[in-house]
Chain A
Amino acid sequence: MSGVEGYNFAYLDEQTKRMIRRALLKAVAVPGYQVPFASREMPLPYGWGTGGIQVTAAVLGADDTLKVIDQGADDTTNAVSIRRFFAKTAGVATTTRTAEATVIQTRHRIPEQPLTEGQILVYQVPTPEPLRWLEPREAETRVLHALGDYGVMQVELYEDIAIHGKIKRAYDYPVEVAQRYMTSPSPIPKFDNPKLSNSPALQLFGAGREKRIYAIPPHTPVRSLDFEDYPFDVDHPGQPCALCGDRASYLDEIVTDDKGSRMFVCSDTDHCAERRGEIPQ
């Protein structure tokens, strides 16, 4: 079954996959709650997507079609490396098309094209604990989550507004999942936060180094933290993509010379290529 001699389908042995699936089931049952799991050492470095890779390995079947993106792009080196890893160890079909993929592993972005029922979006997560920068101790943060005691974050966000006039978080913007757990959306730009809520797709989050898995099941409400008088909003550079003209997509800024010239282009390469007609619909 496997593409590589001596290794199981999708690299991990079946016992390990079972352990991960149990953690996933628990994560889906308790949306936004961080489930500890016995993360394995993967042949790729910690911090490079080992959590996402383990989750993908556990959910991947032989008839799945896999898409891997990093910064929204399919052709960034780490996305290439992970896609190859599964093409080699699982022999599954791969694609760059969001619509064609059944499993999408991502780092730092949610695709522009709305996801559909039956799709699974797997996030690579460096720091699953949204309270980590306010309280470094796991023993403490677990208690805060258990009690739903999130005052420390409210104060942090309030102080941002008091000092800077706005909440000073551009990515990894904390959310509340299903009116209960405060959760890190992983370092996606806050631009992507609205897509987390009520998505028809299953969203799974894997943090390999920190050994945590969590989930946002389909059709689950997700609220980006805010205040009544300072509602959540997203930033946009205010100009269209220089390549496809989209005014609503998330843009990367490209420095084109050393005189301050720059252009803005879609970070989601599949979305941009499709709009430019490079890919037949």
Chain B
Amino acid sequence: MYVAVKGGEKAIDAAHEWLAEERRGNPEVPELSVGQIAEQLGLAVDRVMAEASLYDRELASLALKQAQGDVIEAVFLLRAYRTTLPRFGASLSVDTGAMHIDRRISATFKDLPGGQVLGPTYDYTHRLLDFTLAAEGKAPAAPTAVPRDETMPRVLDLLADEGLMEREEAPADESGPVPDLTREPLTYPAGRALRLQGLARGDEGFLLSLGYSTQRGYGRNHPFAGEIRQGTVSVEVEVPELGFAIDIGDVMLTECQSVNQFKGDAVRPAQFTRGYGLVFGRGERKAMAMALVDRALRAEELGEAVQGPAQDEEFVLSHTDNVEASGFVQHLKLPHYVDFQAELQLVRSLRAARVAKKEAAE
């Protein structure tokens, strides 16, 4: 029979076996361990954790190994695992003001309490391929120093103390359930809390381009990098039986707060407003892009004209998720014989009708 589509099961099995072989590569080259990925491909691991919304270096490393380094596939693997986990509750808000700082820079003040701390950054490296890495040269030990100041107040708080920066008001009652877009369907308008959740797990590339678009005039909002800080914070959970909060561990975070102009209106004086970015790990590019997009999405709230895609909440939030996007773009390779057949018939009949009409006219 010509219509030989039987055998799908066998084909799928064989494809998976071939994939496993491809993943392993040349067996004469030693196999990569999950520990090596966690230690030596740390930024990839960070990105997978951030976009999967699951802080687990070991599982993220495993996902990267299983996905042959394909970050979006790794995010998908980790998310599919995450969704099966029970949700015990919400932690207390983490205090990034009390962060154990690795890096902290401000582009708005030359010096400030706590100082500028570069930390482990690529910023001022010259992008020259380092052939000693290929030759497996040993990394030199980095020098160490005592922090200049243990307390590092957040730059934007300093501005807020002067009344120049809007204050973020905590909700009067924080006992209610924290909204969770992974457990409730998102409806629009979503509001800032859910928006920030969406952005925090959004695709870095998409947010980067959107943030960039605001800098090029599609929803300009005059940003300064008020502060970027990176380091570990402790996560605390209130246990009802105990009646007090306990520390359940540390997470590495990158926070970016942008300082943006606000001209003021009838009720509010001119002051600075902020865009906020917070991501797991050392995701500085993502945190900065997130802050730009967060601020852009506040256009309506601040009475600014909505002119660019980055300012459109429904557009941004419904397209920022790379697992959704990747699935739907790639579903186009699933069979569409039936719909295509229907289209073929339609196009043929439209063309026939046109010919008939032309002939009738002649």
Contact = CB atoms under 8 A, between A and B. Distances in A.
Interface of A: 7, 13, 36-43, 45-48, 50, 70-73, 75-81, 84, 107-109, 126, 137-139, 164-166, 168, 170-172, 187-191, 209, 211-212, 235-237, 243, 250-254, 256, 263, 265, 267, 269
Secondary structure of the B contact surface, majority rule: helix
Interface residues of B, number: 50
A71 B188 contact: no
Nearest to A77: B8
A48 B339 contact: no
A38 B346 contact: no
A80 B349 contact: no
A254 B189 contact: no
Contacts, number: 148
Contact of A267 (B80, B84, B328, B337): B337
A189 B341 CA distance: 9
A119 to B, nearest CB: 21
Contact of B80 (A43, A47, A137, A235): A43
Interface in B152-188: 182-188
Contacts of A236: 345
Contact of B350 (A168, A209, A212, A237): A168
Between B1, B183, B338, B344, the greatest number of chain A beta carbons within 10 A of the residue's beta carbon is seen for B338
Contact of B336 (A36, A46, A50, A108): A108
Given A108-B339, A168-B350, A170-B339, A209 B189 contact: no
A71 to B, nearest CB: 5
B314 A138 contact: yes
Secondary structure of the A contact surface, majority rule: loop
Given A41-B80, A71-B338, A235-B345, A256 B185 contact: no
11 contacts: A41-B76, A41-B80, A42-B83, A75-B7, A75-B8, A165-B350, A168-B346, A187-B339, A209-B328, A252-B337, A253-B344
Contacts of B86: 13
A75 B189 contact: no
Given A45-B330, A84-B9, A171-B342, A139 B185 contact: no
B327 A170 contact: no
Given A13-B84, A108-B338, A191-B342, A77 B11 contact: yes
Given A13-B84, A40-B83, A138 B341 contact: no
Interface string B307-348: 000000010001000011011111100111111011111100
Contact of B353 (A7, A46, A71, A165): A165
Contacts of A190: 342
A80 B8 contact: yes
A50 B327 CA distance: 10
A191 B343 CA distance: 12
A137 B2 contact: no
Contact of A139 (B83, B188, B337): B188
A39 B183 CA distance: 8
Between A46, A108, A189, the greatest number of chain B beta carbons within 10 A of the residue's beta carbon is seen for A46
B346 A243 contact: no
